[in-house]
Structure formats: C-alpha cells, structure tokens
C-alpha cells in the first residue's frame, strides 16, 4: 500500500516537472557591449517577465527589466558596462521563477552604448531591435 501511494504521488509530479520553467544560460560565451545576446527559456506559462539583477542577489531591484514577453526568447543588445555582473531571472504568469548562472560583461571594442535605464520596455515578439555582429546564445 505504501509503495502504491508513493508511486502514484511520483507519477502525479511528472507533468509538473515536464512544464518546469527553465532559463538557458550562456556559460561559455562572453557578454560584450554592443553585441546581441539571445535569452531563451522553456516551460512555464506566458506571459513571462525577464529581468537582470546585480550579481547573484535575486532579491535586489533589477538593473534591467525587459517587460512582459509572450514568446520564449528575447534578444538584447548589451548596453551594460564592462565588469557588470548579473543574474538573469525569468518569471511566468503563475509566479514560477528560474535563474541563470552569474554572467559578467567583458571588455568590448565600443562602450558608447552603455545605458543606465532600467526599463527596456516590453516586446510582443520577444526580441529587441537588431544589432550588427554575432549573436551570443544562452544554452
């Protein structure tokens, strides 16, 4: 009887785990000013809310807020200064939250795009204006 109850409880968790919210991280790629970075996530329920917080302080006020997202990806043209470290947070409409690894902006060839604005606005299509250069993907 105990085994059957435990098994039934585990089977009931499978759909919830299959829809678990996750954000992909770029661990092996550099975050460079003026170059685009693609955030992507899976699971959860739209709309989604993408933010960046300083360091790994997930309770801090965002340093970037990309607004409401309907899709499962967002391309950001990096406009933070060299040395800025951040964690990406994706939250869905149910309140489920996922965090990325810590990322740090490295030196680039141009820092004229550094922007101190927190709100980037929302995007119905899930992407920011296109930029030149190579897109860096979260994986």
Q: How far apart are CA 74 and CA 72, in angstroms?
A: 7
Asked if residue 85 lies in contact with residue 7, where contact means CB atoms within 8 angstroms, the answer is: no
pTM value > 0.85 = no
Contacts of 119 (CB under 8 A, 6+ apart): 65, 67
- The band of 59, judged by pLDDT with boundaries at 50, 70 and 90, is very high
Residue 20 pLDDT greater than 70, yes or no: yes
Q: How many angstroms separate the Cα of 30 from the Cα of each of 26, 63, 64, 119?
A: 8, 19, 18, 23
Q: Give the start-to-end residue ranges of the domains of the chain.
A: 21-129
Around Cβ 81, how many Cβ atoms within 10 Å? Answer: 14
More confident residue, 73 or 133: 73
Q: How far apart are CA 82 and CA 67, in angstroms?
A: 24
Residue 51 pLDDT greater than 90, yes or no: yes
Task: Give me the pLDDT at residue 124, please.
Answer: 40
Instruction: Extract the tokens encoding 111.
Output: 């820092």
More confident residue, 47 or 30: 47
Q: The domain 21-129 is classified under which CATH number: 1.20.950, 2.60.40, 1.10.357, 2.30.29?
A: 2.60.40
Task: Give me the pLDDT at residue 108, please.
Answer: 76
């Amino acid at each position: 009887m105990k085994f059957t109850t435990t098994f039934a409880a585990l089977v009931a968790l499978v759909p919830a785990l299959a829809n678990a919210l996750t954000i992909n991280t770029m661990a092996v790629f550099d975050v460079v000013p003026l170059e685009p970075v693609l955030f992507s996530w899976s699971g959860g329920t739209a709309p989604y809310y993408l933010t960046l917080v300083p360091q790994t302080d997930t309770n801090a006020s965002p340093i970037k807020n990309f607004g409401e997202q309907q899709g499962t990806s967002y391309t950001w043209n990096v406009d933070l200064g060299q040395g800025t470290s951040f964690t990406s947070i994706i939250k869905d409409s149910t309140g489920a939250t996922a965090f990325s690894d810590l990322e740090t902006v490295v030196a680039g060839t141009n820092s004229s795009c550094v922007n101190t604005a927190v709100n980037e606005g929302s995007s119905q299509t899930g992407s920011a204006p296109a930029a030149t250069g190579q897109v860096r993907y979260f994986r």
